[in-house]
């Protein structure tokens, strides 16, 4: 912007430049081109169309919310007039689902989330430099979970905030990303009173389809700060002979229709291990987590 102001002042003659310089058509032409490029760079917004579409859709939903509720059915004794309750508020999210983008750059993800044909989105995208893009109002429903299940909840999108972290799935998360994530989680937990156990990953709610946020994600660090459940020292934990690992997974929240995938998702989250076999040590951890999830 300072360059733009300088060029404007230059062309307006506020600087003491030799007048003959402005008689040189090539110099003058170059200055005009530079001025044009400066103005263009200051005003260019690559997602202008996506933002217009967002505002248009939000306006339509706001119009729908303002409508007086009407009956969707008829009865023999329909009331003569409508009565609106005075006791209501906005629906709020009760879960936070953490993902990795599985793409090669933050810019690629942002573009993916602004193309209608992709049919995917998230509320937040955290780039490697720690910058956070808040792409959707928290009270609106993003399309990030897909076909998923946690406990008895099957419409995860309607009850959650989706956070995508720029990561291709084969690398550690950056320090700036984690710092921004903790600040964001703190805000969400406080604002919506989200229970600690309800901070989970995409692979937890869709174990047969998804692997994110993957084995490199620091779940223990999150749990130590109050974002997620964890386990203690299992040295003296005794697993009873009657222990049912599938039942324990179900208690935690996993969809156990594909028990092998559920085991893999559990081990990825709590043991940073992508295998699908439960050792005796693993069962101790599973027992601890299940008991803390009750």
Which pLDDT does position 42 carry in this prediction? 55
The mean pLDDT of 178-187, rounded to a whole number, is 98
Q: Report the range of poorest mean pLDDT among 20-29, 53-62, 240-249, 254-263.
A: 20-29
pTM of the entire structure? Answer: 0.84
Residue appearing with tokens 């003569």: 80
Which pLDDT does position 273 carry in this prediction? 97
Residue 95 main-chain phi, psi, to 5 deg: -135, 155
Domain boundaries, the chain: 2-43, 95-224, 245-293
Of 64, 107, 164, 175, the catalytic one is 164
Which pLDDT does position 31 carry in this prediction? 60
| Maximum average pLDDT range among 40-44, 70-74, 122-126 | 122-126
Q: Report the range of poorest mean pLDDT among 19-33, 49-63, 139-153, 236-250.
A: 19-33
The CATH class of 95-224 is alpha beta
Bridge-partner residues for 161, per DSSP? 96
Burial of 112 (0-12, 13-18, 19+ CB in 10 A): middle
CB < 8 Å & 24+ apart, contacts of 43-49: 47/110, 47/114
Q: Quick check: 269 pLDDT over 70?
A: yes
Is 164 marked active-site? Answer: yes
pLDDT grade, residue 1 (50/70/90)? very low
82-97 tens-digit pLDDT:
888 999 998 899 999 9
- The CA-based angle 180-107-143, given to 5 degrees, is 75
């Amino acid at each position: 912007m300072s360059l733009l102001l300088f060029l404007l002042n230059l062309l307006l003659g506020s600087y003491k430049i030799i007048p003959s310089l402005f008689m040189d058509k090539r110099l003058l032409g170059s200055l005009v081109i530079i001025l044009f490029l400066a103005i263009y760079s200051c005003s260019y917004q690559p997602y202008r169309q996506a933002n217009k579409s967002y505002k248009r859709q939000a306006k339509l939903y706001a119009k729908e919310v303002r409508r007086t509720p009407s009956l969707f059915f008829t009865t023999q004794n329909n009331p003569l007039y409508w009565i609106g309750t005075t006791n209501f508020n906005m629906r709020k999210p009760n879960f936070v689902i953490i993902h990795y983008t599985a793409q090669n750059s933050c810019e690629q993800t942002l573009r993916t989330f602004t193309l209608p044909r992709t049919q995917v989105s998230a509320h937040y995208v955290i780039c490697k430099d720690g910058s956070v893009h808040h792409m959707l109002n928290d009270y609106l429903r993003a399309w990030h979970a897909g076909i998923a299940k946690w406990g008895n909840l099957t419409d995860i999108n309607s009850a959650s905030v989706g956070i995508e972290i720029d990561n291709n799935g084969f690398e550690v998360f950056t320090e700036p990303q984690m710092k921004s994530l903790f600040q964001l989680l703190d805000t969400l937990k406080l604002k919506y009173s989200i229970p600690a156990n309800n901070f989970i990953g995409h692979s937890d709610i869709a174990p047969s389809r998804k692997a994110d946020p993957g084995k490199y994600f620091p779940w223990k660090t999150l749990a130590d700060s109050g974002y997620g459940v964890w386990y203690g020292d299992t040295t003296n934990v005794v697993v009873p002979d009657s222990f049912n690992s599938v039942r324990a997974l179900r208690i935690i929240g996993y969809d156990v229709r594909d028990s092998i995938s559920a085991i893999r998702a559990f081990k990825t989250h709590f043991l940073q291990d992508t295998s699908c076999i439960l050792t005796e040590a693993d069962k101790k951890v599973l027992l601890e987590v299940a008991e803390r999830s009750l």
